[in-house]
Every structure is written in structure tokens, then in C-alpha cells.
């Protein structure tokens, strides 16, 4: 039985009061990366903009020691990357921070640098170069491989996926552009020529207007969640923000996109938000997003900076808006901050831009437990194998037509209550229609439509698919039946 997670969390001010050095100066568009078994948070670069004289891109490294509750500035003896903001960063092998791309003023970068957090030395990966870009995102998927998605190259928004191979090698690290298979779409139709009554086809675009890969974007948020890479939001070519969630998943030797259809209180469309992973119940890790910038208003749109937070309950495949304990505490509205997982039960939110100036405050976002939050450097829990909607189907070939939910009616109902017709496989249609018949009959939904005069079901009313043969149904019919069934679930809630 799945349980609903508590939505209550709290913000706790991180002051770093035990050290002799102040925290980082106000900035946004920086990176903050956790290394050394969650002991250090390494802040690099960003953009300064405030009331003082200090404006422009930064090149400093400031480190928070979570165990000592203190900030310090390591002595780095080697030349490092140029000052920059809106770059990407991630950790690999627990002791290294990789920095990629970014910009300083009008100049964009396509270089890669690695900071060794044992020796505190920078090295450039001279063999790893790509077309300059900013506002991209990277995550490490294993000890030597980093994945990058999206960004802006000065001419347009990007939707490409690159992997940095042999990241630990000073001379062998190279970028490779990956071909990512589109999300699978099953289409039901009759093939008169072959006499087949049902066929399934993987398409490059969804006939109903959906997409099988994310649109080009920048300023999105991206995290590693179990074996999957999750991507949320961002800004596209028309200037509008996105609210969609995508999964980049291993598919044999390659990659495949999976569009996630999630229930609940989804975050408003936004870009420049921060995303991390937080433990909110025993042994279950959940994705959390905070802040960002988007638009509000109906007739007249206005730019809005958000101060809300949402978490993705992977066990129940739904978004939840976070409720905070305490009043008047926590960071104000902002975008382009960082949210870094430290230990397994808290994330460090630092910096950002509130529409007027850069911020220099740091806050812990943590589950609603003791506010003192003693440091816990134990590894985060493994993501549940049921964390994503499609996990129950992960090992099925696209051509299989078996019922993957056999023996688990509750799981099947949960799936069809949240999915789109594009997520319905051929083998699910008979079970879906049995559920449709049982549910609409039990609720006594009226059959509203044209009376054919012979007592048969009208063609346009609710319940009109009760006597249809699943093998002869068109995709549109399956979609209409699914919509009716989901409405029946809501009516019966």
C-alpha cells in the first residue's frame, strides 16, 4: 500500500557561524556542488549585481564545511577557469567538481574544467570542447561520464544531449553528441490491406499534438534520480516558460526520452529554478524544486519571481506543493539560486536574483524534523523501483502486448487515473475497457446521445463504449474512453 508523504517542511537559516570567514558574496547563476561524502559544498562563479561597486562575473571558489558549519576559501595554486556565470557543474568520484560552459558578458564558453577537492587544483580538459553555450545542465551518471542537456548558444535554444566520456582523464575526456530515441507512442488502427484488426506503431510525433522529446530550452533544472535523468521546466524559443517534466533514460546501449504524466499540484511554468533530491520518508528520495521566474496575469503578463517549493512524490507519481512550518521565515522570491543535497535529509539553498539585486543568504530546506538538524553524512537512500510511472514497463519491449499490471488492479487504476492515451499500451486496452465498463456502470453514468430507436447505446453519450470490442477501437476512441474513466474516478473520489 502506498502512503502519502507529509508535505510539511521547514526552512532553517544557514549562518556558517562557527568559522572565521564570511560566506560567499551575493551572486546568482553560480553553481554549488556537494563532494567528500556530503561534507563540502563548493560554490563557484556566478554574477554579482547589487548596490555596491562589485558587478559582473565571478571566478572565486568558496566552500561550506557542513560538518564544521563554516565557510572557507581554499588556497588554489593552479590557474583556473575564467570568471563566468550560468555555467553547469556536477560532482564525480566524490572528490571532483566538473565545470562546463557558461558566459562572461557577451562571451560564451565551451570549455571544461575539473577541480580536485583533495589537492585543491584546477585542470582543464583540453580534449573536451564543444560549441559555446550557457544555461545548460549537467549531471554525472557514473564515475567517468557526465550528461549535458540543452542551453542557449547565442543564436538559439538547444535540445541536444551530450555525454562527456572519460571525465577523469586530462587528455582523453571527450564530448559525444547522443542520439536519443523519441518517447514511444502506441497508435491503434485497422490495417485493411493486411487484414490485421490492430496495429501498433512508434511515431516521431504524437497525432494528438503531444511531443516525444522536450522542446529546445535553457534555464531548466536537471537532477539524477536513481538511474534516470529528470528535467523540469526552462525557457524556450518563444520566451515562454515550460512546466513539463521529462525523463532521459538508458535504453540498451543508447538513450530514450520518457514524458512523465504526473498528477497533483504541478509547479507553475518557470525557468531559473533550482532542483534537488531530499529524503522525506524512510528510504524514499524525492525531487524538490524551489524558486524560479515565470509569468503571471491574464490580459497583461508580468514577470514573477517565485518563493514556493514543490516536491515530486515518486511513490505516488504526483506533484505536491510544500507546506512550511513557521511563519515569515525562509528565502524570499528569487531565481538562479542553487539547491544542493547535503546528506540525505536536507538541501542547501544559496544565492539567487530577486528581480532587483543578487542575494547572499543561505537556507537549509529540510523535512519537518528537529530544527537543529545535526549533520548526517550517511548516503542517500536508493530511489524506489516504483518511483516513475513507466518503471512498471521498463523491461518490456514495445511490441509486447501482455498486461503488465496483471494481479495488481490497484496499480493499474492508479496508472490509468494519471496517464494520457499515449501512455496506454496495446495489451492494456482490454483491461482498461473492462475497468471502463465496471466503473461507468457502477456509477450509473447516463448514456446521453442520439437514441438509435432500437435501445442501443447512443453514439455520442457517456458510456457509449461499454459494448465496444477493444480490438477494433481507434486511438481516438481509446482516448475518449480513458477521459470518461478518469472523470468517473474523480466523481467517485
274 and 218 assigned to the same domain: yes
Question: Do 353 and 467 fall into the same domain?
Answer: no
CA dihedral angle for residue 483, residue 213, residue 265, residue 404, rounded to 10 degrees: 60
164 and 123 inside one domain = yes
Instruction: Give just the sign of the alpha carbon dihedral 313, 318, 321, 325.
Output: negative
Strand order in the sheet with 107-116: 88-92, 96-104, 107-116, 121-124
In a domain, 384, yes or no: no
Say how many domains are in the chain: 2
Q: Lay out the sheet containing 31-35: strands in order across.
A: 31-35, 40-44, 61-65, 70-72
Same domain, 141 and 268: yes
Q: What CATH number should be reported for the domain holding residue 112?
A: 2.120.10.80
The answer to whether residues 175 and 130 touch, using CB atoms and an 8 Å cutoff, is yes
Same domain? For 171 and 256 the reply is yes
Q: Which domain holds residue 328?
A: 8-183+205-367
- Same domain, residue pair 239 and 311: yes
For 359-387, what is the mean pLDDT? Answer: 62
> What's the pLDDT band for 442 if we cut at 50, 70, 90?
confident
Look at residue 345 and tell me if it is in a domain: yes
- Give the pLDDT mean for 396-406: 38
Kindly report the pTM of this predicted structure: 0.73
Q: What is the DSSP letter of 80?
A: -
Provide the percentage of residues in the chain whose pLDDT is more than 70: 76
**What percentage of residues in the chain have a pLDDT greater than 90?**
52
Nearest to 251 by CA among 185, 181, 184: 181
Same domain, 289 and 437: no
* Residues 471 and 409 placed together within one structural domain of the fold: yes
| Domain edge (last residue) among 342, 367, 392 | 367
Is residue 268 predicted with pLDDT exceeding 90?
yes
Same domain, 251 and 350: yes
For 340-349, what is each residue's pLDDT tens digit?
999 888 999 9
Name every residue whose Cβ is closer than 8 Å to that of residue 179 and which is 6 or more positions away in sequence: 254, 255
Amino acid at each position: 500500500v502506498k502512503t502519502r508523504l507529509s508535505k510539511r517542511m521547514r526552512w532553517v537559516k544557514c549562518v556558517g557561524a562557527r568559522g572565521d570567514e564570511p560566506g560567499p558574496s551575493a551572486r546568482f547563476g553560480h553553481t554549488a556542488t556537494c563532494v567528500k561524502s556530503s561534507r563540502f559544498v563548493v560554490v563557484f562563479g556566478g554574477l554579482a549585481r547589487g548596490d555596491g561597486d562589485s558587478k559582473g562575473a565571478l571566478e572565486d571558489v568558496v566552500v561550506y564545511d557542513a560538518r564544521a558549519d563554516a565557510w572557507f576559501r581554499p588556497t588554489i595554486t593552479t590557474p583556473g577557469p575564467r570568471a563566468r556565470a550560468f555555467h553547469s557543474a556536477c560532482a564525480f568520484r566524490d572528490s571532483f567538481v566538473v565545470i562546463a560552459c557558461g558566459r562572461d558578458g557577451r562571451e560564451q564558453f565551451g570549455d571544461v574544467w575539473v577541480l580536485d577537492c583533495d589537492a585543491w587544483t584546477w585542470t582543464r580538459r583540453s580534449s573536451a570542447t564543444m560549441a559555446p553555450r550557457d544555461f545548460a545542465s549537467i549531471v554525472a551518471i557514473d564515475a567517468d561520464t557526465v550528461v549535458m542537456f540543452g542551453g542557449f548558444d547565442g543564436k538559439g535554444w538547444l535540445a541536444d544531449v551530450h555525454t562527456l566520456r572519460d571525465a577523469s582523464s586530462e587528455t582523453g575526456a571527450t564530448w559525444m553528441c547522443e542520439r536519443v530515441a523519441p518517447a514511444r507512442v502506441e497508435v491503434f488502427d485497422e490495417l485493411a490491406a493486411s487484414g490485421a484488426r490492430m496495429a501498433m506503431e512508434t511515431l516521431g510525433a504524437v497525432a494528438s499534438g503531444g511531443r516525444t522529446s522536450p522542446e529546445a530550452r535553457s534555464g531548466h533544472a536537471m537532477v539524477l534520480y536513481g538511474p534516470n535523468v529528470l528535467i523540469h521546466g526552462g525557457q524556450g524559443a518563444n520566451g515562454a516558460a515550460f512546466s513539463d517534466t521529462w525523463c532521459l533514460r538508458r535504453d540498451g546501449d543508447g538513450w530514450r526520452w520518457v514524458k512523465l504524466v504526473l498528477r497533483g499540484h504541478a509547479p507553475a511554468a518557470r525557468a531559473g529554478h533550482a532542483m534537488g533530491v531530499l529524503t522525506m520518508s524512510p528510504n524514499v528520495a524525492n525531487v524538490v524544486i524551489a524558486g524560479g521566474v515565470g509569468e503571471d496575469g491574464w490580459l497583461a503578463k508580468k514577470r514573477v519571481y517565485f518563493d514556493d517549493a514543490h516536491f515530486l512524490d515518486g511513490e505516488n507519481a504526483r506533484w505536491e506543493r510544500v507546506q512550511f512550518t513557521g511563519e515569515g521565515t525562509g528565502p524570499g522570491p528569487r531565481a538562479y539560486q542553487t539547491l544542493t543535497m547535503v546528506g540525505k535529509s536536507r538541501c542547501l539553498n544559496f544565492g539567487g536574483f530577486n528581480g532587483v539585486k543578487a542575494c547572499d543568504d543561505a537556507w537549509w530546506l529540510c523535512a519537518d524534523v528537529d530544527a537543529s538538524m545535526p549533520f548526517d553524512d550517511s548516503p542517500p537512500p536508493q530511489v524506489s523501483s516504483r518511483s516513475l510511472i513507466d518503471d512498471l514497463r521498463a523491461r518490456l519491449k514495445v511490441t509486447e502486448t501482455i498486461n503488465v499490471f496483471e494481479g495488481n488492479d490497484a496499480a493499474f487504476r492508479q496508472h490509468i487515473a494519471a496517464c494520457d492515451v499515449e501512455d496506454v499500451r496495446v495489451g492494456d486496452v482490454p483491461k482498461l475497457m473492462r475497468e471502463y465498463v465496471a466503473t461507468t456502470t457502477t456509477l450509473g453514468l447516463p448514456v446521453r446521445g442520439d437514441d438509435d430507436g432500437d435501445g442501443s447505446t447512443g453514439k455520442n453519450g457517456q458510456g457509449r463504449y461499454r459494448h465496444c470490442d477493444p480490438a477494433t477501437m481507434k486511438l481516438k476512441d481509446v482516448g475518449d474512453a480513458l477521459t470518461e474513466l478518469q472523470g468517473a474516478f474523480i466523481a467517485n473520489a
